[in-house]
């Protein structure tokens, strides 16, 4: 799974933390903040979360009816091995956006709504987090690539 042809297949936001996000098609990404209108907007290291469709597919193969946004990720990707990216990797999204990987996975201390509904959650193991270095508009279908 390499980055050639990797893309954003869903842009997702929610007004509260710990709930499924709603696919919106496009959103404004703000430097040092995150996605406009999302609950995780702040000047911190987890401004944007990314999860691979490949991870969601694992949950679907276990019989869960889940899709993009259901694991509270902001950006659902396809064709890029997110877990192989070292902290500090810069990702170019679409024409203008640059994200810097700040965290791989996370500890979930309490079982969120997603876990309770799905019985499992791939986000703590396979989600990654980034801060926004350069903002712009993100659209479903935008390319995502490692910036050398």
Domain count within the chain: 1
**Sheet with 48-52: strands ordered across:** 22-23, 7-13, 75-78, 48-52, 128-134, 97-104, 90-93, 144-146
User: Does residue 2 surpass a pLDDT of 60?
Assistant: no
- Is 1 a member of any domain? no
Domain that holds residue 98: 7-146
- Is 58 a member of any domain? yes
What CATH number should be reported for the domain holding residue 123?
2.40.33.20
pTM of the model: 0.90
- Is 32 a member of any domain? yes
- Is 83 a member of any domain? yes
CB-facing half-sphere around the CA of 114: CA atoms within 13 A: 22
- 10 Å CB burial of residue 145 (0-12, 13-18, 19+) is middle
- Is 68 a member of any domain? yes
- Is 102 a member of any domain? yes
Give the model confidence (pLDDT) of 80-115 as tens digits: 999 899 999 999 999 999 999 999 886 665 666 666
CA 103 – CA 68 distance, rounded (Å): 20
- Is 2 a member of any domain? no
- Is 52 a member of any domain? yes
DSSP the chain: --STT-EEEEEEE-SSTTSPPEE-SEEEEETTTEETT-TT-SSSS-SEEEEEHHHHHHHHHTT----TTTT--SEEEES--GGGPPTT-EEEETTTEEEEEEEES---SS--HHHHHHS--SHHHH-EEEEEEE-EEEETT-BEEE--
Give the model confidence (pLDDT) of 25-81 as tens digits: 999 999 999 999 999 899 999 999 999 999 999 888 878 888 999 888 999 999 999
Q: How confident is the model at residue 14 (pLDDT cuts 50, 70, 90)?
A: very high
Rg (CA), the chain: 14
């Amino acid at each position: 799974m390499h980055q050639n042809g990797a893309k954003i297949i869903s842009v997702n936001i929610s007004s509260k933390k710990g709930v499924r996000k709603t696919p919106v098609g496009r959103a404004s990404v703000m430097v040092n903040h995150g996605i406009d209108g999302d609950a995780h907007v702040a000047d911190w290291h987890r401004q944007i979360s990314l999860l691979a469709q490949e991870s969601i597919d694992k949950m679907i193969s276990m019989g869960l009816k889940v899709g993009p946004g259901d694991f509270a990720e902001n950006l659902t990707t396809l064709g890029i091995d997110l877990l192989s990216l070292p902290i500090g990797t810069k990702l170019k999204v679409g024409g203008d956006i640059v994200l810097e990987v700040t965290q791989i996975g996370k500890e979930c201390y309490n079982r969120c709504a997603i876990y309770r509904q799905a019985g499992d959650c791939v986000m703590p193991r396979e989600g990654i987090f980034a801060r926004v270095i350069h903002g712009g508009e993100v659209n479903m279908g935008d390319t995502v690539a490692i910036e050398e």
